[in-house]
Amino acid sequence: MKYRKKPVIIDAIQWTGNNTFQVRSFLDGQEPNLKSATASDHWEKYCDYVMLHGITIMTLEDGKDGRAKHVASVGDWIIKGVAGEFYPCKPDIFEKTYEIAE
């Protein structure tokens, strides 16, 4: 049998490499607190790290505790699913699967 994906409106953000603050805010549901010098220093180190290794996203699938780690690379879209879960999606797949909702 064949099935069609139900039309669902999702929230998503593309990680450009220059919007790590916005991506982290999207994933955490709040802006990172960078008011102290220590937090600001840690943030810079974090940004350097994720540019080299990607942003780790905990998903709801198949890990030991029911969650699994996935890594988003620069250019990937990060999608918030219907159950509030997050997962990365390569740009070419995102373009074939999603369109802007009015």
Number of domains in the chain: 1
- Does 3 reside within a domain? no
Q: Is the pTM of this model over 0.85?
A: no
In a domain, 92, yes or no: yes
pLDDT of residue 46: 94
The dihedrals phi and psi of 33, each to the nearest 5 degrees, come to -90, 110
Parent domain of 73: 11-97
65 domain-assigned: yes
Q: In what order do the strands lie in the sheet containing 86-89? A: 11-14, 77-80, 86-89
Residues of the chain where predicted confidence (pLDDT) is lower than 70? 61-67
Residue 87 counted as domain residue: yes
Q: Quick check: is 43 in a domain?
A: yes
In a domain? residue 45:
yes
